[in-house]
Chains A and B, each alone.
Chain A
Amino acid sequence: MSRIRFGKYETICLLVNLISTQTFLGFPRTMVEIAGTAGWILVIYVYVLTLILFLFISKLYSHFEGKDLLDIAEIAGGGVARVVVGSIIVAYLVFAVSIILREFSENMKVISYDASPVSYISLFFLSGMVISAYIGLEALMRYSGIAVPIIVTGLIAIFIGVSPFIDLENLMPILGNGLYDIFVKGVLRVSTFSPLIILYLFNPFIGSNRNFRQAGVYGISIAFVLMLLCTSIYLSVYPYPFSLQSFLPVHTMARTISLGRFFQRLESVFMFIWVTNALIYLSSGFFLINYVFKKTFNLVYYKPLIIPFAIIILSISLLPDNLMSVLKLVNDYFRSYVWITTFPIPILVLIAARYRVRGKKGVKAR
């Protein structure tokens, strides 16, 4: 496994895909819910905070080149710390993948497969996840490298298609729900960039610290540009408070596109890029679950874990009673607290490991 290497490009593509997945779900609406017409300012604020946090983490990481978060946890607190950190990450990923699987499946049902049971739709996503987990990480990364530019192009095509409807006056009043809502309530939305956790886990495959930092900064920045465009265009096309209503903002925008009598119903483009994006998100999340579990408990192989985890994830995904419960789970809990696994825990682990290494060096020197 450790012989696998992939470049900055593939890492950036995967990161962009994982972060921008929310763009295809309710992200623009959530920004509007928090900040009103200033939803786009909230995106900028969250980006700046995330960038500062990431640069700080990458500075701490510079002392542990080629090591992932589990290795560093082991340095900090031995096997126990590795198991604790690994378990937290696995729990987070299982929850994230299950809930996103359900959310995507429900959305597919609403917009396209209204006569099919949600479990049937989930099974298709799940088959893709299982197959990609068997094929392995390298194929997943290479596929991201190919698919993500297509996804980004499709998303930009939707933005261009909807541009005749843009009215910048819809972004007024400039401060929306007010400074408190943007800068205090909005702070929890650094969770938007929580998929950064893959960088801490893929560090051994990425190569140098320089690659790690650059992949992170570029990945965050490209995803930020997409999310900023998406939120501001959504708000300027669908004025507040109507913008609070839309279930799937990007789909709503795609449905709006009507360029003459010939270019209509462009949501089919949306469907294609949306499903591709979802499949990459779910597959990489699912692979990570197996990989982190294997590494946390020092197992030799991860492939025997694939089917059991697939069953667990499908079962958890079907637990919520309805779509509204899923959305509440995602928006009120998952997106509000998931930043804890991405920022404070890695920072604590890294600081602890740094002190431990320094302490050992000090003992040796004495």
Chain B
Amino acid sequence: MIKRVFLVTVCAAFLLNFLTGCYDSREIDDWAYVIAIGMDKGKTHALKITLKFAVPKNIGGAESKGQGGGGGDGSTTDITLESPTLFSGLNMANNIISRQINLFHAKVIVFSKELAEDEIFERMITAFPRTINVRPEVFILVARDSAEEYVKGIQLQFEVNPTKFYELAYTTSHYTGFIAPITLRDFILRLKSYDRQPVGILAGVSRYKSSEDFDPQRTTNLEKGRAFPLEGDYFAGDIPKVSENKTEVMGLAVFDGARMVGELDGAETGLYLMVTGEFRSAYMTHPDPLVENSYVILNVNQGRKPVHSVKMSDGKPEISVKIMLEADIQVIQSGKNYESLEMKPLLQRTYEKFLEEGITRFLYKTSEEFHSDICGFGKSLKKRFLTWKEWEEFNWLSRYKDASFSVEVELKIRRPGLIIRTVPIKSSEE
């Protein structure tokens, strides 16, 4: 019995010493938590790195004081430095700040467009999956101008906690369709894929200081053959808005392999989401089919997953896409009774045609202009091959540029909102 008690005591003493030891322990407040990483091309080194840190003591302080958070109240702080690689930059930064840098809570990695278009981008992005410190759900952004400017420019307007801002800001696609929530995991998987290509969220800093500066030329409606812009006809940085938060996200950066080859605006991103089946819901505006200068707005959502079919004809891919959408009427400015069973098909067909044209234009842009299968049509074709070797030799990604498309959209208006019948407005002039 004495022997057993002695043994247990020795074991307990051993465990107490080794399990609670300070050898490699780190307290939570020993770390400096990075929440955003910006990467630009550098002058003295290959990279210019901007790190945005959370300052936990100020986050708590802002909450208790009922402040609105944001970088202005000190809930975040930044550092910018140049180094050959990200991790050598972290080393340099560790030498400057008092705490050890920790990337576990990083929410976003921003690359500048200039860097994303350069061959060194491949060397930068492939460093991330190897490290345990960066999580796969980190969002991947491409800043149209400077990543440093974007990371530093973020102001938290509604959040006390900066990490919550980052968690919410890049999932707005669930109800706008203007961006796709592309994470590091998505990006890397596509980068290594033989059947689809990567995209990143397009980010930017607003070019407008006041509403007087708004420039009607900085839209994409003309290249789509439309005289007037709709809400998605902008790239990040061009949105006509003025707010405390200068940064914005809108559209996608398109990659061919590890090199950025083009941009999609907000509206095209919505179409991309519809084609890939990731579209959730968004308001969509369209000119009234019967009344000029008047709009109809539908709240559209993806009814069913899209159906893709790819066949090869004379060595060229023929891709057909069928998209099934559902919608609720949100606004009818003209007062026309589109809720009625007689007029509903007209509105549905108008929207279907509008979307079919838009999607066809968008798909040809990906093939002819970008040579990049970002929608993953290759996946539909892959199952026709028996072995990987055959599929690899087929080299789908090099054939995509010759693809032709046929698009069919089926849109069903399900509900008219709270108004079952539109009664026209009367005035003394009538």
Interface status of B120 (Cβ within 8 A of chain A):
no
Chain A 155-188: CB-based contact to B (< 8 A → 1; otherwise 0): 0000000000001011011111110000000000
Interface status of A36 (Cβ within 8 A of chain B):
yes
Binds A, one of B235-243, B352-360, B382-390: B382-390
Count how many chain A residues have C-beta atoms less than 8 Å from C-beta atoms of the other chain.
33
Say whether B387 contacts A173, CB under 8 Å.
yes
Given A124-B18, A177-B389, 18 new contacts (CB under 8 A): A36-B387, A37-B388, A111-B132, A115-B23, A115-B24, A116-B24, A131-B11, A167-B379, A173-B388, A174-B383, A176-B387, A178-B387, A240-B388, A242-B193, A245-B129, A255-B135, A256-B185, A261-B164
| Measured CA separation A167–B382 after assembly (Å) | 13
Set of chain B residues within 8 Å of A110, measured between Cβ atoms: 132
Chain A 254-265: CB-based contact to B (< 8 A → 1; otherwise 0): 011010010011
Say whether A116 contacts B132, CB under 8 Å.
no
Say whether B383 contacts A175, CB under 8 Å.
no
Interface status of A241 (Cβ within 8 A of chain B):
yes
Say whether A178 contacts B192, CB under 8 Å.
no
Known A256-B136, A256-B185: A239·B24 in contact at CB below 8 Å = no
Set of chain A residues within 8 Å of B18, measured between Cβ atoms: 124
| Measured CA separation A114–B133 after assembly (Å) | 11
Interface status of A238 (Cβ within 8 A of chain B):
yes
| Measured CA separation A324–B49 after assembly (Å) | 32
Set of chain B residues within 8 Å of A172, measured between Cβ atoms: 379, 382-383, 385
| Measured CA separation A90–B185 after assembly (Å) | 44
Say whether A173 contacts B390, CB under 8 Å.
yes
Interface status of B189 (Cβ within 8 A of chain A):
yes
Known A114-B132, A178-B389, A255-B135: A261·B189 in contact at CB below 8 Å = no
Known A177-B389, A178-B389: A169·B132 in contact at CB below 8 Å = no
| Measured CA separation A174–B384 after assembly (Å) | 9
Set of chain A residues within 8 Å of B167, measured between Cβ atoms: 261
A175, A242, A256: which contacts B192 (Cβ < 8 A)?
A242
Say whether B185 contacts A169, CB under 8 Å.
no
Interface status of A113 (Cβ within 8 A of chain B):
yes
Residues facing A in B114-158 (CB within 8 A) are 129, 132, 135-137
Known A114-B132, A172-B385, A174-B383: A242·B189 in contact at CB below 8 Å = yes
Interface status of B391 (Cβ within 8 A of chain A):
yes
Interface status of B380 (Cβ within 8 A of chain A):
yes
B185's nearest neighbour on chain A, judged by CB, is A256
CB distance from B370 to the nearest CB of A (A): 21
CB distance from A140 to the nearest CB of B (A): 18
| Measured CA separation A240–B23 after assembly (Å) | 40
CB distance from A28 to the nearest CB of B (A): 16
Set of chain B residues within 8 Å of A258, measured between Cβ atoms: 137
Set of chain B residues within 8 Å of A261, measured between Cβ atoms: 164, 167
Interface status of B188 (Cβ within 8 A of chain A):
yes
Set of chain A residues within 8 Å of B379, measured between Cβ atoms: 167, 169-170, 172
Chain B 372-403: CB-based contact to A (< 8 A → 1; otherwise 0): 00000001101101111111000000000000
| Measured CA separation A45–B62 after assembly (Å) | 61
Say whether B24 contacts A169, CB under 8 Å.
no
